[in-house]
Chain A
Amino acid sequence: MSSASTITPIDQATPVPGRAPDRYFKHQLIAPAIFLLLLIGLFPLIYSLIVSFQRITMLEEDYSFAGLANYAQLFRDTRLWQSLLHTAIITAIALPIELVAGLLMAQLFLERLPGRQIFVSLLVLPTVISPIVAGATWRLLFDNRYGPINQILGWIAGEPVAALWTVNPNLVYPAIILCEIWQWTPFMFLILLAALSNVDRSLTEAAEIDGAGYWRIFGRIVLPAIWPVMAIAILIRSLDLVRIFDIIWALTAGGPGTMTETISIYTYTQGFNQFETSYTAAMAFLVIALLTVIVTWAIRRMGLAK
């Protein structure tokens, strides 16, 4: 395992004789972590691959091999493709809104504003709450009769509003996305505020003196400066959105019908409500494979590992 290239200065500096060999020290250090990661990371991958070729359901233990039947079924399963579409819709709408709103908020708080620290501390709150609690909170807020949202809308409209936010097919997506934006815009805001604060002011001021307009300064100086941080924030948020479960589970549980079923909710339903073990394993494997490719590409692309 140890090759010449892995020897670091500290190894050369300490040729201590007569001591237990330090050669395996670095492996001893990392072994427990790798073991646990393999147990929970790699094992499920292999295990679901094997199960996905069988015909197991939780009601019937049929270990005979089905070949690629489960995978063939994945392609015919319109509900699966629907759920991927729902996931894509939520991601495509929520992510840009969170990003732009977060950026605007960061701009608002970038310059001196007395009491800024208090505002920031309060604005952080949604992001640190458990998503399931956030979903439960909005479920209470959205209640058609006793919730405050319809009440406030009623004031604006001038007549009582009794919108069924978590049931009405036209309103479920706005409801989910509103909750999602509420919880995660502060996340974008915090990170972008920190990134903007680190932009070299002398550069933007010099450009201003040279007569460059706001957008020109933003596009040429500010954006390139904050991009590395922004890219990571986008990566973190998009991966979270792709696996979104908690908020939707609390608000609609995928309903009405299967209207708001995302890939995570559908996988859960297949595995734990329909008991389609082998089929769910195939689905899980598909999701893992798909995301591994995307994630590895994104991490390398952004030079995150450096």
Chain B
Amino acid sequence: MIGSGKILRRRGVVLGLRYVAAILLTIFFVFPVYWLFTISFKTPDEIFAFPPAWYPKSIQFNNYAVLFKDGDAETVWNSLVLSAASTVIAMFFGTMAAYSLVRFKTGGENLAVWIISQRMMPPIAIVFPVFLLYVYFGWVDTYHGLIILYTAFSLPYVIWMMRGYLEDIPLELEESALVDGCTRWQVLWKVVFPMARTGLFATAVFTFIFAWNDFLFAFVLTRTEVVTYTVQVTHYFGGQSNFWAKIAAMSVLGTVPVFITVAMLQRYLVRGISMGAVKG
């Protein structure tokens, strides 16, 4: 009896220590995000206060208003168009390819290895020759140029993830649909895609976020017309640090959509970022 009281007290202490550690870690990982967000609401005086102001006195949206007035916020629209278009195309072709790999073992293991190894190529080595090609075609700074590149770069991820999700679909349903007189394409549209819809949705969201967060491709292949929000953020870097408000506001505009989608998709997050290594 004495022993169990001691154990209980020890458990309480351990739990307390774990809480302290958890809170300290959360502060470390969340503080930079907090700082970025608060700068976007600060007045210039607060941003360049010394010592730093730890929170804005009042919430004001002037920093955002400037971005919308000057048209800088259009870069978020460009990011949206590029990411959405490339995601739709990559999901469509990628899921078809994944179905081919799963059901018919097309190309065997070698093809699967080649496809996933494309994902692991360093973007800088890809984008340089692509840049030369695009200069030749006149595709630099165009929507379709970047959409094609993002699509191709997303495809290995889509194929890889959808391969995992499609493996979970029972064969019998497809077979009975075939017996009922559906063509193969109808089976794909009416049985496979609807059955895999949660996987399709989760994969699409991650594909979208990867394109949305890209910097290097857009940095190399845009000039003025299709500049994305990530490239726009770097335009505010300068010798003088007086564009802080714009850096912060533009970053927040690009980050909030990601936070919202990830919050909705908590369940698929681990599978999505671990390339399907963890299912659940």
Kindly supply a per-residue 1/0 record for chain B positions 178-202, scoring 1 wherever the CB is within 8 Å of any chain A CB and 0 otherwise.
Answer: 1100011000100000000000000
Q: Does B126 contact A (CB under 8 A)?
A: yes
B213/A141 in contact, CB under 8 A: no
**Choice from B109, B230, B237 contacting A305 with Cβ under 8 Å:** B109
A141/B32 in contact, CB under 8 A: yes
Q: Which B residues lie within 8 Å of A284 (CB)?
A: 124-125, 128-129
Interface residues of B in 103-138 (CB under 8 A from A): 103-109, 112-113, 115-118, 120-126, 128-133
A14 to B183, CA, bound (A): 11
Residue positions of B touching A, CB distance < 8 A = 15, 18-19, 21-22, 25-26, 28-33, 35-36, 39, 47-52, 54, 93-94, 96-97, 99-101, 103-109, 112-113, 115-118, 120-126, 128-133, 148-149, 151-153, 155-156, 159, 171, 174-175, 178-179, 183-184, 188, 209, 212-216, 220, 230, 233-234, 237, 241, 244, 247-248, 251, 254-255, 258-259, 262-263, 266, 269-270, 273-275, 277-278, 280
A296 to B113, CA, bound (A): 7
Given contacts A228-B277, A264-B122, 20 further A-B contacts (CB under 8 A): A14-B178, A30-B96, A37-B118, A47-B132, A113-B15, A124-B269, A125-B30, A127-B273, A128-B209, A130-B212, A130-B230, A190-B270, A194-B274, A194-B278, A250-B237, A267-B125, A271-B131, A288-B121, A291-B125, A292-B121
Main secondary structure, interface of A, reads helix
Q: Which B residues lie within 8 Å of A228 (CB)?
A: 277
Q: Which A residues lie within 8 Å of B178 (CB)?
A: 10, 13-14, 16
Kindly supply a per-residue 1/0 record for chain A positions 240-280, scoring 1 wherever the CB is within 8 Å of any chain B CB and 0 otherwise.
Answer: 00110110011000000000000110011001100001001
A41/B121 in contact, CB under 8 A: yes
**Choice from B115, B148, B277 contacting A191 with Cβ under 8 Å:** B277
Total A-B Cβ pairs within 8 A? 295
Residue positions of A touching B, CB distance < 8 A = 6, 8-11, 13-14, 16, 19-20, 22, 25-27, 29-30, 32-34, 36-37, 39-41, 43-45, 47-48, 51, 105, 108-109, 111, 113, 119, 121-134, 136-141, 143, 145-148, 151, 182, 185-187, 190-191, 193-195, 198, 228-229, 232-233, 236, 239, 242-243, 245-246, 249-250, 263-264, 267-268, 271-272, 277, 280-281, 284-285, 287-288, 291-292, 295-296, 299-300, 304-306
